């Protein structure tokens, strides 16, 4: 389907519920599975609800389910979660017929199977100019925000390692009175909270019902056994911790974005064989608790990257985040790690701040000296360097393969492909791909090799990662990898030396967009440009778990890469903005972070991606975050909760879908607003070939009185007109409206993807919004991009 068409109401209802499960006899089954029954919001006071109020909600869930199962005891036994505070709904083990009957019940918004999501897996703050010295200038955001003092950051992730210095409470006063949360399993074996780490909860029922398996020490304990949750939480709100490094590299002061914030961990993800797994129902439970507990900001570094049959009302993260934003909580989420493929960006709900990943100006350099005199610069970490500075035998991993292995598998250093009799004492050249980068050095070590040159494939380009390897390793860019293999293939006795790691700062260009960072356009609602911003997400040093059996690889602080790492950078900045402006709405914070972002790097040129191509708003949204600017944006684009529902109305949802999302119910207006009129801080035109488009927007003055003029950078082949092009504000809080008219300058313009921008400026503030235009973006029924025509 093309983006300007939506499914008819009945087909759409089929997508957001399970009514269509029985449309084919082959789908009707008595097999039981875990479902989420979503009923919308609550009429009681949420955080102020009494125990009697909460019990009444639980009883109502039992009653509703009993009417369809025919027995109260069956209903009570089937229910796993009752969401009783801000989110109204429950989860239950049902068969498809039962689920379909419940979906038809009046007041039920949606019924959907409990789906699994994945986690999207420090100098970064200095790089963003929060501080360049130990003494912080008074005008900087850290001083203005008192380092985020008493703002509460929640984290939906894999738990927390409470003993980390990042969560020590030395020097902290009493816990803020607004905090209503608690610390589950408050023991030394579990998680012992304090005045810094003020909350820890565990939600695992959905994971268990999915049939997934995990170590009981992980599954029944809020403690972080993976490392991901500790890393992200400390990045958002960890203490100042001096003298932190990893294997004597990347040394300095570890710190979160809001280092004096209070933090709380909501464990919803668990370690499985192929990574981590997080159930929608557990995520919803985490959201419901965090809102009631009193968090100000939620950092959510997880998501799904399967958008077939997607509905906002059948996505636990979208539902939970809506209720959080409606309750005044800023929700920040990762964009996903499926880049550089376009149309892969996740967590695209318009009420979420969606974050892509970029690099910083810090490198950990590991030089390779080839026998022909070539010197190549790569990166990696390892415990022990090569014993002598001399040339060692070098071989392609394909040339040391076992007899039963293929050269194609061996060159990737896959398990069971390397012959120890051939690899012994050599440095191996391995190609990146298929398996984890670190596992390649593990396989080389197991085969007796003494080092690895890890060569990027063409798709990975210049993206390098500072992994901790099992043998001396240098991870090199694609063009240098080509040199390595060309040297090996053209030399009778090739040799090489791998030097020890050296940390360098001030490298250029930076930032660059990470190749793995998921790209737009937004394939579900392409009129909303996603991601929103980019932030550091490559080789980020932060707190980690000390769990695990391999003592040689336990470090209290580790380097990690992913949009998972970028997300908490923005969550930390959101906490600082909330500290300075506690009365600002989530959408105002969202807008301030977007409109103050920057699209140029430290060379003055536009940001590139890590394949050395100029990046675009599909990768970085409005740009790379600038924390010091975000507290004084000048103007903000503000959105009320009901306006998000108006947006859903404009893309095909109806009143029966959304009637219970707000406390008093909601009905779509008789005259539905255009999707282009949603007050978002960006402008996206996916179908200019259908004719000119007019956007209606309004901005609120959050600075001194002033006059703002519009400056437009037109996308190639596209005319952009702003009316009026001057806005005069006489007082703080005043709002002004304007229109942006977009039209093709000639027939067939914008056949590809074209980008521009609109900036409102009074000479001191620059309120920038990106503009995206294409002639006709075509997306198929599974929400994949077919092309532009």
Confirm whether 389 is a catalytic residue.
no
- 713, β-bridge pairs: 757
> Is residue 563 within a helix (H) or strand (E), and if so which, with residue range?
helix 563-580
Residue from 114, 126, 157, 677 carrying the catalytic annotation: 157
Q: What are phi and psi of 157, to 5 degrees?
A: -165, -145
What is the DSSP code (8-state) at residue 451?
E
Query: 564 forms bridges with which residues in the sheet?
Result: none
Catalytic residue among 34, 44, 86, 228: 228
Buried b (16+ CB within 10 A) or exposed e, 341-356: ebbbbbbbbbbbbbbb
With 0-12 / 13-18 / 19 or more C-beta atoms within 10 angstroms meaning exposed / middle / buried, residue 489 is exposed
**683-685 sheet: strands from edge to edge:** 683-685, 766-773, 754-761, 706-713, 726-729
What gap in Å lies between CA 222 and CA 183, rounded to an integer?
9
- Pairing state between β 87-94 and 33-41: antiparallel
Neighbouring CB atoms inside 10 A of 434's CB total 13
Q: Which helix (H) or strand (E) element contains residue 571? A: helix 563-580
Give the DSSP letter string of 228-289.
HHHHHHHHHHPPPEEEEEETTEEEEEE--SSTTSEEEEEE-EEEETTEEEEEHHHHHHHHHH
Helix (H) or strand (E) holding 394: strand 392-396
- CA 494 to chain CA mean position, Å: 43
Which of 474, 517, 564, 615 is flagged as catalytic? 564
Residue 765 and residue 490: Cα distance in Å, rounded? 58
Q: Any catalytic annotation for residue 23?
A: no
Q: Is 564 a catalytic residue?
A: yes
Torsion of CA 375, 473, 504, 360, to 10 degrees: 110
566 touches 539 (CB < 8 A): no
Beta bridge mates, 607: none
Four-point Cα dihedral 357, 358, 364, 365, nearest 10? 120
Q: Which residues contact residue 171 at a Cβ distance below 8 angstroms, ignoring those fewer than 6 apart?
A: none
Contact between 153 and 296 (Cβ < 8 Å): yes
Q: How far apart are CA 355 and CA 337, in angstroms?
A: 11
Angle between helix 280-293 and 316-326 (nearest 10)? 10
At what angle are helices 96-103 and 51-69 packed, to 10 degrees? 120
Cβ-Cβ contacts under 8 Å for 273 (sequence gap 6 or more): 213
Alpha-carbon distance of 185 to 187, in angstroms, equals 6
Catalytic residues: 157, 228, 564
């Amino acid at each position: 389907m093309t983006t300007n068409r939506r499914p008819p109401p009945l087909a759409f209802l089929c997508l957001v519920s399970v009514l269509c499960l029985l449309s084919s006899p082959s789908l009707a089954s008595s097999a039981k599975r875990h479902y989420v029954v979503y009923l919308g919001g609550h009429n009681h006071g949420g955080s102020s609800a009494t125990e009697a109020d909460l019990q009444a909600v639980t009883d109502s869930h039992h009653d509703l389910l009993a009417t369809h199962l025919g027995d109260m005891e069956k209903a009570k036994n089937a229910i796993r979660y009752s969401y009783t505070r801000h989110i109204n709904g429950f989860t239950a083990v049902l068969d498809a017929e039962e689920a379909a009957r419940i979906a038809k019940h009046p007041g039920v918004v949606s019924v959907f199977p409990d789906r699994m999501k994945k986690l999207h897996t420090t100098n970064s703050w200095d790089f963003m100019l929060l501080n360049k010295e130990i003494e912080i200038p008074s005008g900087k955001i850290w001083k203005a925000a008192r380092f985020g003092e008493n703002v509460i950051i929640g984290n939906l992730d894999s738990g927390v390692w409470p003993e980390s210095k990042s969560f020590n409470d030395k020097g902290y006063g009493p816990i803020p009175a607004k905090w209503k949360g608690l610390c589950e399993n408050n023991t030394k074996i579990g998680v012992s909270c304090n005045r810094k780490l003020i909350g820890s909860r565990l939600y695992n029922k959905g994971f268990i019902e999915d049939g997934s398996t995990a170590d009981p020490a992980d599954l029944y304990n809020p403690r972080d056994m993976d490392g991901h949750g500790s890393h992200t939480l400390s990045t958002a709100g960890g203490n100042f911790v001096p003298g932190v490094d990893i294997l004597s590299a990347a040394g300095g002061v570890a710190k979160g974005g809001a280092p004096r914030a209070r933090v709380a961990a909501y464990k919803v993800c668990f370690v499985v064989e192929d990574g981590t797994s997080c159930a929608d129902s557990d995520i919803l439970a985490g959201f419901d608790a965090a809102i009631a507990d009193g968090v100000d900001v939620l950092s959510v570094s997880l998501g799904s990257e399967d958008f077939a049959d997607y509905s906002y009302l059948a996505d636990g993260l979208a539902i939970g985040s809506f209720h959080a934003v409606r309750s005044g909580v800023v929700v920040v989420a990762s964009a996903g790690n499926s880049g550089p493929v376009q149309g892969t960006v996740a967590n695209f709900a318009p009420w979420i701040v969606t974050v892509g990943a970029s690099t910083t100006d810090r490198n950990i350099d590991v030089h390779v000296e080839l026998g022909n005199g070539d010197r190549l610069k790569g990166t990696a970490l390892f415990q022990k360097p090569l014993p002598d500075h001399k040339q060692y035998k070098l071989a392609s991993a394909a040339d040391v393969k076992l007899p039963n292995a293929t050269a194609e598998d061996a060159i990737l250093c896959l398990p069971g492909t390397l012959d120890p009799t051939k690899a012994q004492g050599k440095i191996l050249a391995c190609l990146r791909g298929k398996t984890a980068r670190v596992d390649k050095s593990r396989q080389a070590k197991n085969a007796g090799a003494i080092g690895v040159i890890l060569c990027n494939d063409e798709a990975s380009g210049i993206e390098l990662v500072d992994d901790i390897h099992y043998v001396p390793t240098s991870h090199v860019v694609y063009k240098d990898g080509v040199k390595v293999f060309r040297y090996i293939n053209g030399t009778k006795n090739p040799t090489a030396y791998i030097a020890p790691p050296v940390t360098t700062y001030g490298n250029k260009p930076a930032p660059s967009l990470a190749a793995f960072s998921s790209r737009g356009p937004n394939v579900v609602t392409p009129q909303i440009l996603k991601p929103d911003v980019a932030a550091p997400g490559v080789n980020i040093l932060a707190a980690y778990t000390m769990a695990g059996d391999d003592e040689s690889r336990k470090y209290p602080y580790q380097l990690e890469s992913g949009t998972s790492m970028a997300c908490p950078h923005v969550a930390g900045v959101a906490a600082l903005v909330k500290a300075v402006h506690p009365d600002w709405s989530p959408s105002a914070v969202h807008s301030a972070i977007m409109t103050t972002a920057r699209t140029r790097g430290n060379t003055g040129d536009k940001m590139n991606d890590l394949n050395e191509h100029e990046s675009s708003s599909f990768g970085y949204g409005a740009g790379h975050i600038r924390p010091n600017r975000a507290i004084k944006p000048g103007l903000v684009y503000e959105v009320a909760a009901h306006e998000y529902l108006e947006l859903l109305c404009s893309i095909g949802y109806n009143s029966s879908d959304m009637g219970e999302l707000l406390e008093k119910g909601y009905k779509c207006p008789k005259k539905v607003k255009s999707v282009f009129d949603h007050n978002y801080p960006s402008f996206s035109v996916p179908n200019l070939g259908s004719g000119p488009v007019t956007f209606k927007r309004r901005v609120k003055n959050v600075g001194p009185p002033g006059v703002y003029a519009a400056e437009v950078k037109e996308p190639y082949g596209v005319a952009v007109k702003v009316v009026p092009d001057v806005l005069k504000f006489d007082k703080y809080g005043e709002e002004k409206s304007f229109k942006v008219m977009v039209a093709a300058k000639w027939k067939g313009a914008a056949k590809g993807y074209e980008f521009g921008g609109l900036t409102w400026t009074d000479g001191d503030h620059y309120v920038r919004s990106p503009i995206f235009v294409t002639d006709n973006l075509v997306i198929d029924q599974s929400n994949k991009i077919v092309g532009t025509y």
